[in-house]
Amino acid sequence: MDFKQSIAGCVEDALNRAFGQAPLTGEEIAQALEVPPDTGLGDYAFPCFKLAKGLRKAPPLIAQQLKAAMDSPFLSRVEAVKGYLNFYIDRALYAREVVETALAQGAAYGGGSEGAGKTVCIDYSSINIAKRFHIGHLSTTMIGHALSQLYRFRGYRVVSINHLGDWGTQFGKMICAYKKWGDRAAVEKGGVDEMVKLYVRFDQESQDDPALADEGRAWFKRIEEGDPEALEIFNWFKSVTLKDAEKVYDILGVKFDSYAGESFYNDKMEPVIQELRDKGLLTQSEGAQVVDLSPYDMPPCLILKKDGATLYATRDLAAAFYRKKTYDFAKCLYVVAYQQSLHFKQLFKVIQLMGYDWYKDMEHVAFGMVSYEGETLSTRKGHVVYLEDLLAEAVKKARAIIDEKSPDLENKDEVARQVGVGAVIFFDLYNNRIKDIDFWWERALNFDGETAPYVQYTHARCCSVLRKAQQGGVQADYQALSDPEAQEVVRLIEQFPGIVTTALERSEPSMITRFSVDLAQAYNKFYYERRILDDDPAVQAARLNLTRATRQLIHTALGLIGIQAPERM
Ligand code: ARG
């Protein structure tokens, strides 16, 4: 079912019939088709201006002659207006095509297989060891998760990578602090919080005792040299951090295929550095080794420090080569805050300068900052909002609302979890990713706003309508879906596959979030204006099919962005 394509085919036939030739191919005609700004002018319009020269006729005349030659079973009307040919799709037929296609394809509707045989690496969440997950990490985690789902939906193999921040001198300091004041049981129990306390204490005490810093450095050296004790503690810090993070990932329903982080590339940088050297790309700058990027108006990319230490960029460079070699990716995405834009521009540029074409397949998926009820997150001022706490609070608040609105609901805890967590994710994925977000409870949990609870509620409403309906094997009369309210729902359902495509092209999950709201709003309007459980069984059957398709599509759309849709609320 592709109305645009079918209309293009009919126009091509009409051209042949009217003029004995078709100066444009069906494909070109499809591309030229426009959607008129006003539905009164039809569903699609074909501008005839480009044909004027070849056919040696004025566009209005071409339109007239084409109109006379048009023959299409699914157009209710064709009008020639000035140089345009306007097409009106038969409403009932349109509704039947769209709704039945969506229902026949079920959960696969909107998906595809263009990604078959192709791999996409998505680097997201990428947390830092010994640091807690705060709400600033929500965007990378959920945008990355949504993109993973969208790519899988289109048949790609996705490798989700948590590029752990697990390298740096701070880990030497932490081990030193742990050896001096730490307690294994306390860290096991307190998790990351306990580690952060150790780090803070180290920072404070080393101000009075400079020797401490040397000890910290010595421990870091031991990690670098593979000293067993240092490694044992370091790896244990990692596993404690990951255990904490996994609690949050479980709540969010997020999983990773790889946790290969910065330290994983310790032994993989040397060949890349050698290659940079061989290709004459490394230059000395104040003792450091850099790739000069001044011709591209960028500061140099630091590869080796004066003391020979590697940097964040060196590791990312090695990681890019490792990913290309291991996964042969068709695309490699980095879902990282916009503050790191320059870093990724430099990274991609260096790979290009090394002569690899696949730098074009790499993309920095940048996003804005998150603040909380008007306050920015700042560790120093102590305004940190931890994601785990925020999610727990969301579930609690959702539970209170459910207790009030639906006291008799059976699985209240489960629904409160789906609604609370969904509200947070939805809020995060509602706007264009580059926009900064200010999280407000009142807005996230508003059941009447553009929120997860609103969309979830609409899904539950569809489920309830379908439960109540007596469903016989009656043929649906799609004439019943010719009214503007039903047509709007149909139109949105038809657009969904295209929206998935655009969301992927732009790496913009918010398009799916917005779609879910548009569909819910359109359905609710239809629900209030039309009686679904109508006396005429054929009318009822058509409205129920529309309800069924809506339920399915809300479920699909929310699922793609990582939100569950309860059947009852
Ligand atoms: N751990 C880094 C941070 O928190 C993000 C890493 C992103 N991924 C990457 N390959 N550089 O800022």
Q: State how far the alpha carbon of 135 is from the alpha carbons of 161, 381, 405, 426, in Å.
A: 20, 16, 29, 14
Residue nearest to atom 6 of ligand 1 (CA): 126
182-227 pLDDT per residue, tens: 999 999 999 999 999 999 999 999 999 989 999 999 999 999 899 9
Please tell me if the CB atom of residue 128 comes closer than 6 angstroms to any atom of ligand 1. yes
Which residue of 160, 335, 336, 367 sits with most ligand 1 atoms within 8 Å of its CB, as the best mutation to test the pocket? 336
Please tell me if the CB atom of residue 126 comes closer than 6 angstroms to any atom of ligand 1. yes
Report pLDDT for 136. 85
Atom of ligand 1 nearest to the CA of 336: 7
Rounded to the nearest angstrom, the distance between the alpha carbon of 336 and the centre of ligand 1 is 7
Rounded to the nearest angstrom, the distance between the alpha carbon of 281 and the centre of ligand 1 is 25
Please tell me if the CB atom of residue 84 comes closer than 6 angstroms to any atom of ligand 1. no
Rounded to the nearest angstrom, the distance between the alpha carbon of 125 and the centre of ligand 1 is 8
Cα separation, 556 vs 5, in Å, equals 25
Residue nearest to atom 11 of ligand 1 (CA): 316
Rounded to the nearest angstrom, the distance between the alpha carbon of 274 and the centre of ligand 1 is 24
Which positions of the chain have pLDDT values less than 70? 1, 378-382
Report pLDDT for 379. 62
Cα separation, 68 vs 379, in Å, equals 71
Report pLDDT for 190. 92
Cα separation, 222 vs 228, in Å, equals 8
Please tell me if the CB atom of residue 446 comes closer than 6 angstroms to any atom of ligand 1. no
Atom of ligand 1 nearest to the CA of 137: 4
Report pLDDT for 1. 60
Adjacent-strand bridge partners of 284: 289
Residue nearest to atom 1 of ligand 1 (CA): 165
Report pLDDT for 381. 64
Put the strands of the sheet holding 84-89 in their side by side order. Answer: 44-47, 84-89, 75-81
Contact 19, 60 (CB under 8 A): no
Rounded to the nearest angstrom, the distance between the alpha carbon of 395 and the centre of ligand 1 is 29
Rounded to the nearest angstrom, the distance between the alpha carbon of 428 and the centre of ligand 1 is 19
Please tell me if the CB atom of residue 163 comes closer than 6 angstroms to any atom of ligand 1. yes
Give per-residue burial for 100-119: e unless 16+ CB within 10 Å, then b: eebeeeeeebbbeeebeebb
Could you give the residue ranges of the DSSP H alpha helices within 429-483?
441-444, 452-468
Rounded to the nearest angstrom, the distance between the alpha carbon of 16 and the centre of ligand 1 is 58
Report pLDDT for 10. 95
* 3-state SS class at 503: helix
Please tell me if the CB atom of residue 136 comes closer than 6 angstroms to any atom of ligand 1. no
How far does CA 349 lie from the centroid of its chain? 25
Residue 424: count other Cβ atoms within 10 Å of its Cβ.
27
Cα separation, 63 vs 79, in Å, equals 8
Report pLDDT for 472. 72
Residue nearest to atom 9 of ligand 1 (CA): 163
Please tell me if the CB atom of residue 166 comes closer than 6 angstroms to any atom of ligand 1. no
Please tell me if the CB atom of residue 336 comes closer than 6 angstroms to any atom of ligand 1. yes
548-557 pLDDT per residue, tens: 999 999 999 9
Atom of ligand 1 nearest to the CA of 261: 10
Give the pairing of strands 375-376 and 119-123. unpaired
